[in-house]
């Protein structure tokens, strides 16, 4: 039985290795930077011809822009997030894990200004580490990662439980190991009681 548990433990560790690296880097970056500031300076700007239909609402224009551009790994802009620039142009921010496709509808000029704002590596990892299933509008590639992430979380739980089993099956006598187990469990209980 212990050999089977050891094999499961090793495979679970290997399956969650990438996620643990992602979680660790994202956590360290968040702690080091004290929060993520998303870049606002575009890496590139280009223009696309676009005609706004007569008497179209902002919501309808936003949908037409989305259908026209079909920005990679982005979803339509929610109604509550439709914005206007100081010059009263409709501004649409299509967020994805790589950054923002910022589109300004220049109605009188008959075109769209499309700005590509890219995330740095820390922001990219921050965005993907929190991706879990439940967002029906996620693009297919992001959905794949969400399900991989979900599976990794359950596999990580299995990794921890099989590790505990292997440790207990070895008839532990190491006082330091028991102290670390008590310290970790005590810290969890203390945090739970403080944040309740």
pLDDT single digits (tens) 57-82: 999 999 999 999 988 888 888 888 89
| Token representation of residue 152 | 């990794």
Question: Which pLDDT band holds residue 50 (cuts at 50, 70, 90)?
Answer: very high
Average of per-residue pLDDT across 161-165: 88
- 0.75 surpassed by pTM: no
Helix (H) or strand (E) segment spanning residue 147:
helix 140-169
pLDDT at 114: 95
Average of per-residue pLDDT across 167-194: 86
pLDDT at 93: 92
139 or 116, which is more confident? 116
Say how far apart CA 49 and CA 114 lie, in whole Å: 11
19 or 7, which is more confident? 7
Mean pLDDT of the chain: 85
Question: Which pLDDT band holds residue 34 (cuts at 50, 70, 90)?
Answer: low
40 or 9, which is more confident? 9
Dihedral of alpha carbons 148, 154, 159, 160, sign: positive
Say how far apart CA 139 and CA 44 lie, in whole Å: 23
Pairing verdict, β 90-96 and 99-106: antiparallel
Pairing verdict, β 99-106 and 111-118: antiparallel
Question: Which pLDDT band holds residue 33 (cuts at 50, 70, 90)?
Answer: low
Question: Which pLDDT band holds residue 19 (cuts at 50, 70, 90)?
Answer: confident
């Amino acid at each position: 039985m212990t050999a089977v548990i050891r094999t499961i433990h090793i495979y679970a560790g290997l399956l969650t290795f990438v996620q643990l690296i992602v979680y660790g880097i994202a956590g360290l970056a968040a702690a080091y930077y004290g929060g993520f500031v998303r870049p606002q300076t575009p890496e590139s700007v280009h223009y696309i011809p676009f005609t706004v239909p007569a008497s179209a609402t902002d919501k309808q224009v936003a949908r037409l822009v989305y259908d026209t551009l079909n920005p990679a790994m982005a979803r339509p802009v929610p109604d509550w997030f439709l914005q206007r620039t100081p010059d009263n142009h409709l501004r649409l921010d299509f967020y994805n894990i790589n950054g923002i496709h910022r589109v300004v509808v220049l109605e009188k000029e008959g075109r769209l200004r499309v700005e590509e704002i890219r995330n740095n590596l820390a922001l990219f990892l921050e965005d993907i580490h929190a991706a879990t299933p439940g967002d029906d509008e996620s693009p297919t590639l992001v959905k794949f990662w969400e399900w991989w992430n979900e599976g990794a979380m359950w596999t990580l739980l299995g990794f921890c439980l099989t590790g505990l089993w292997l440790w207990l099956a070895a008839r532990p006598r190491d006082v330091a190991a028991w102290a670390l187990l008590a310290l970790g469990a005590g810290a969890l209980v203390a945090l739970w009681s403080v944040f309740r």
